[in-house]
Chain A
Amino acid sequence: RKEVEQDPGPFNVPEGATVAFNCTYSNSASQSFFWYRQDCRKEPKLLMSVYSSGNEDGRFTAQLNRASQYISLLIRDSKLSDSATYLCVVNQRGSTLGRLYFGRGTQLTVWP
């Protein structure tokens, strides 16, 4: 079983739509959680960290449910520029290094 599993997508939504991505992780000792964004043929970049109490950054809201080992990302009022692949990323507790495990990514296309 993979460490991190994501909705396979792709998601195709119109501008202005709200879209949600889900992710589950297998190791209950996982400590830190992130969403990275990767544009086509580019490198991954941090979108936002995910905190236990949930957190928001503009149109983006991330939620964490430790009991269910589940992470979500909600994008409100989608923009064309939100089109990208979104990677769910988990760091495991006890690692002496910030070693990250990446999901396969969920592709989002926002159309006009």
Chain B
Amino acid sequence: NAGVTQTPKFQVLKTGQSMTLQCAQDMNHNSMYWYRQDPGMGLRLIYYSASEGTTDKGEVPNGYNVSRLNKREFSLRLESAAPSQTSVYFCASSAHGTGGQETQYFGPGTRLLVL
């Protein structure tokens, strides 16, 4: 099992450009998540998907959109990138997303720089 994979690993954008971050998991998990991590801020939830076909906003959704393409894949789109979106983006998944002692598994991250 590859676990959670993310592409690309690195990306440099100019302000106003758009891009899509891809995430896929092969663990047959129902729930998937997108976080961003900034120095001194910790991980913050952008969007999540409890199950295929559903998505919901997290703590910091502004400037982002998501698509749960199927059970395996959950993409994050920046329509018009801003320097404030410079960050490391992590995708994660968990089996059921029902809370309790359930582990979230993270992908390796995408480092995004917006100039």
Contact = CB atoms under 8 A, between A and B. Distances in A.
Nearest to B48: A97
Contacts of B98: 96-98
Report whether over half of chain B's contact residues are helix, strand or loop; otherwise say mixed: loop
Interface in A96-112: 96-100, 102-105
Interface stretch (A14-22, A67-75, A87-95): A87-95
A29 to B, nearest CB: 11
A103 B37 CA distance: 11
Contacts of A105: 42
Contacts of A97: 31, 48, 50, 56, 97-99
A43 B90 contact: yes
Interface of B: 31, 40-45, 48, 50, 56, 58, 90, 94, 96-104, 106-109
